[in-house]
Amino acid sequence: MSWALHPLTEEQTEVQKLAREFARAEITPHSAEWDEKAYFEPSLVPKLGELGFLGMMLPEEYDGLGTDTGTYLIALEEIAAADASVAVLMSVHNSLPTQMILRYGSEAQKDRFLKKMARGEILGAFALSEPDAGSDASALTTQAVKDGSCWVLNGTKSWVTNGNTAGAIIAMARTDHAGARRGARGIGAFIVTPDLPGFNVGKKEDKLGLRASPTVQLNFDNLRVPAENLLGDETQGFVYAMQSLDNGRLGIAAQAIGIARSALEHSVTYAAERKQFGKAIKEFEAIQFKLADMAMKVSGSRALLHAAAAAKDRGQSIRQFSSMAKLMASETAMWVTTQAVQIFGGYGYVKDYPVERLMRDAKVTEIYEGTSEIQRIVIARALYGQS
């Protein structure tokens, strides 16, 4: 099914083909089983790294591909259309830990981590949320105290994608002190590795969707992090995180579009095959209207996403537009997958067909990396010139 509203470059066409062939060969045959068993396939990480998909926006000097944002999103959509769990691994790794180290890290930090991350030797993760700090992430309470050549961290991080498999985790912790809190300006970002004393993986969440993507709590019990693992300024970690989430939301939008596109494609095929009242259900106007609206919403979401990506690559501020893209794409994914289940009827409600999994996977795109409500707040503030 052709979807491009503008011609792809030769590089984008090759990347899209490579991602699609990899997804069909390595992911699609296993996605239903991985979902059922909530199983993470570790061999995917080096395979994605070998193809360059874990360092797409890293410069070649760090073994990355150095692609533009749009090319990265094209690849990510292809992976998401096969399995959203694999796509979120790729999205988080590419948009948050690697980009934060690239943008704010020291040369020593870049040399230590980025090449291994690009090659898939180290998987990245991002630890911001806590049990009592979700949408209000600046209310986090994990504390970092300087002790000689180390920072000592105590606290619990929640909803950490790849948290039990990552080799480099960007964790936010308070560097200010009780009685002298500085809000968002009193938080540091630390590169945490699982070999450090005091690092513990806690509860693994049993989720509605994205079941093949591990989501865990991380417990820091007097976790001793070397001072050289502090990322940038010890007071600016939350600022770094918010700026990186602007980019991360583009990845979640691409994931949502991949989910929605897959649901649309399955629905088009099924409507041509399923017969009722003596003819294929695609001949009924009620089904035609659903398919038309599904296609419109998917294409519209993709157009907005790639416009935001182009603005990013031009160096424009994209906070408003990344929120728009993420909001529109995630709500499209939820709506389109719901319509797909309806088109499949009773078969859409059982696990013999893929659309019920797609609907479950779609829901979280309206929640993580900023809920739909938070995105609307960001967009509305931008209308009044507020950050």
Catalytic residues: 369
Amino acid identity of residue 168, one-letter, is: A
Contact 238, 230 (CB under 8 A): no
* DSSP code for 135: S
Nearest CA-CA partner of 114 in 72, 78, 167:
167
In 3D space, the residue among 142, 109, 125, 140 whose CA is nearest the CA of residue 230 turns out to be 109
Q: Where do we find the tokens 């007097």? A: 222
The number of beta carbons lying within 10 Å of the beta carbon of residue 298 is: 26
Contact 55, 65 (CB under 8 A): yes
What is the SS3 assignment for 13-76? HHHHHHHHHHHHHHHCCCHHHHHHHCCCCCCHHHHHHHHCCCCCCCCHHHCCCCCCHHHHHHHH
The pair of three-digit structure tokens given for residue 238, joined into one six-digit string: 């939350």
Check residue 98 and report its DSSP letter. Answer: H
First-last CA distance in the chain: 39
